[in-house]
Structure 1
């Protein structure tokens, strides 16, 4: 067990930031935001293209590439309207970029990529990742990912990100030269830290619960929306049946024929409008999915903190053990049962020279241990400070984005209901003229 001094050291990384520190960090971040890449460059993923080629094992495969276009804002403002720089990237290259950012900036809530395969789809929507509608939505999601990174005060200034946008050849080599893969924490190591850390930071524990709740609520909302979309599709298609019945009926009715045929046209138009409605809804669903995937990015920040806290506690515990050994050697008393104590009883005590040599080695190890604990503690404090600034930034972004998305969704639904009322009002007028 660690002594009192080491116990204090082990939990220093958990000390809460004061309100003044948080405000200062927030102000610094806001000041840095003026230097983001998005203020200097227009970025878009203009189109997607299906290609066929050979993969790493020399087998034929079909894949999709996305055209990234960039243009300096200064040139556009001066009405020069230059041809944008452009290059093609595969989805796997976007994944490599994000993995690099995750490892290089573990304290940042790194924006997620759009889904690789469709999830939470209603039954009429294709789950094929080569479906044109899905590819188009993924194109928009990849563009949103680039805009998120380009607007971040830290990520937007990363050189590898700039290479990704500007250099078609040699970009992957530049990523691997950073050695980010060697810095990546293994899942087993992170899991071990999660279960063995003794003094978890309350704020990061609450953040894990927050991310779990965000994921749970968002996924439930998406499931409900998929079920509602199925039912809505059925309701609209019933109006298509009405339209067909009215049209056929108008052929055998002389006096009511015109009215029935007009009503039938209104019903047909209403039935076919459901495709556009659900396509627009899918746009809002994709916005919710982004925050569904953001939940995992939040947990990644928590896991890294747990790992750093575990390393700090391990170093502090090892230091405490060394200090206890020094005390035992100095006083000649063994406080706890150990193999060393049994050996001393069986074979006699050590000579003064042996004891001095061991004390000298222990003093060196204690000095190294104290330096290591100090270093780990400083790393943990710095991580907490930087992470909390970005978490606050993320929460503000999330509240703003979801509020706008849900308000827009509600406005869309009101508009849809008004159109439905208008269709039946028009049909009623047709019936009244019979």
Structure 2
């Protein structure tokens, strides 16, 4: 029981350290409750990932493989006048693989680089306690991933910008979506000269958030292992008391009752740890959100890098114009060396080059203006979405940790009750 109490205190300390000052709200029963249903798409359409199914087929290497597909159900919502948009209220259904969800999210990352795109649930089981299967086809893991994929779709559908995307709508309603052609690579890294402190701090924050949640999940996995052992020891108590009751006449009933309480307590650990996995998955979502934050920072670096390169190119052209107009060369250049060896340019050649440089400078100024405007607009839109994300994160993480702490306290009370019942059985012997 001390282990459980320590972990409850750890959860509460994390709540305080993250500074999650949000008015209390009732505990969540599912990840779906963590989504705000306030956007136009969710007012018109219900979205569910109803079930998962194992299938066998051939992959790109023409080899047999077993994979899981998920059934997406969408249904137009009824209104007072009948059916929204005049569309039948029967649900539309289609199957999607996890890889298709990955493709959709990559498309959203590329198309909306200023938005903190919701993450997908883990592809492979991580931070699991040792008694839990890490098999990707394990029914419990597949079920948790189904809930996570539904939560992902609802997160996107609840976003004020992402919910209006046509490709996302086609992903929900059309069997074939051609997203591949819209994808680009975001793997390049750029080092800017004057980084924006806000985005630098955001990178550090995302790293710290990832580290803290990963450590919390590791501790939870270790605690779950020890807790599993403690509960199974109670099963040994139950077996011993039951065997002892068979050879005792006067104490037999008391020992048998105590053994029954111990057996019931030991058997409850599987349901308890399965409920814990639900809260762990909610924390994992924000572990993966840290990557989404880093993607926004990476895109900002690219935008600022392009602006700085445009400014650098413009400054270089202005220097060339000044040198050409005055006939002085500030730095060594091949053209300056050529002029010394083969003589100066004619007046016509110089004027022609000056006119070309003037035109190039005007184009460079326009380009720099556009790049600066693009960078400023990116910062404005990105920061609006980051603020929205932070409010959502504070609320969701706070509720998940408090609900987890309440569950642990309830579990400890049940343990105390079991031993109180056992004490009464012993007193009656």
For 2:425, the equivalent position in structure 1 comes to 430
For 1:37, the equivalent position in structure 2 comes to 41
* Residue 58 (structure 1) aligned with residue 62 (structure 2): yes
For 1:12, the equivalent position in structure 2 comes to none
Task: Give the secondary structure class of the aligned counterpart of 1:58.
Answer: coil
TM-score for the superposition, normalised by structure 2: 0.88
Q: 1:356 & 1:185 partners in 2: Cα distance?
A: 43
Counterparts of residues 24-423 of structure 1 (less than 5 Å): 34-74=38-78, 82-168=89-175, 170-171=176-177, 173=178, 175-176=179-180, 179-181=181-183, 184-187=184-187, 190-191=188-189, 193=190, 195=191, 197-423=192-418
Q: 2:235 & 2:406 partners in 1: Cα distance?
A: 25
Q: 1:143 & 1:408 partners in 2: Cα distance?
A: 21
Q: What is the root-mean-square deviation in Å for CA atoms of aligned residues?
A: 1.7
Q: 2:341 & 2:90 partners in 1: Cα distance?
A: 86
For 1:17, the equivalent position in structure 2 comes to none
Task: Give the secondary structure class of the aligned counterpart of 2:46.
Answer: strand
CA 1:125 to 1:392, structure 2 compared with 1: closer, same or farther past 3 Å? same
Structure 1 window deviating more from structure 2 (33-42 vs 423-432): it is: 33-42
Report if the CA contact (8 A) 2:39-2:159 is conserved: no
Report if the CA contact (8 A) 1:53-1:62 is conserved: yes
CA shift digits 1:307-365 (9 cap, x unpaired): 01001100100000000000000011111222222222222222212211211211121
Task: State the Cα distance separating 1:39 from its structure 2 match.
Answer: 2.0
Which ranges in structure 1 are unaligned for 5 or more consecutive residues?
A: 1-32
Task: State the Cα distance separating 1:58 from its structure 2 match.
Answer: 2.1
CA 1:47 to 1:76, structure 2 compared with 1: closer, same or farther past 3 Å? farther
Task: Give the secondary structure class of the aligned counterpart of 1:63.
Answer: strand
Task: State the Cα distance separating 1:78 from its structure 2 match.
Answer: 6.3
Q: Higher helix fraction: Structure 1 or Structure 2?
A: 1
Q: 2:51 & 2:360 partners in 1: Cα distance?
A: 60
Tell me the number of residue pairs that the alignment of Structure 1 and Structure 2 aligns.
390
Task: State the Cα distance separating 1:180 from its structure 2 match.
Answer: 1.6
Q: 2:53 & 2:164 partners in 1: Cα distance?
A: 29
TM-score for the superposition, normalised by structure 1: 0.87
Q: 1:266 & 1:228 partners in 2: Cα distance?
A: 23
Task: State the Cα distance separating 1:202 from its structure 2 match.
Answer: 0.8
Task: Give the secondary structure class of the aligned counterpart of 1:67.
Answer: strand
Task: Give the secondary structure class of the aligned counterpart of 1:113.
Answer: coil
For 2:22, the equivalent position in structure 1 comes to none
Q: 1:180 & 1:353 partners in 2: Cα distance?
A: 49
For 2:13, the equivalent position in structure 1 comes to none
Q: 1:97 & 1:155 partners in 2: Cα distance?
A: 11
For 1:26, the equivalent position in structure 2 comes to none
Report if the CA contact (8 A) 2:53-2:68 is conserved: yes
Task: State the Cα distance separating 1:385 from its structure 2 match.
Answer: 0.8
Task: Give the secondary structure class of the aligned counterpart of 1:335.
Answer: coil
Report if the CA contact (8 A) 2:50-2:73 is conserved: yes
Task: State the Cα distance separating 1:97 from its structure 2 match.
Answer: 0.7
Task: State the Cα distance separating 1:276 from its structure 2 match.
Answer: 0.6
Counterparts of residues 8-23 of structure 1 (less than 5 Å): none
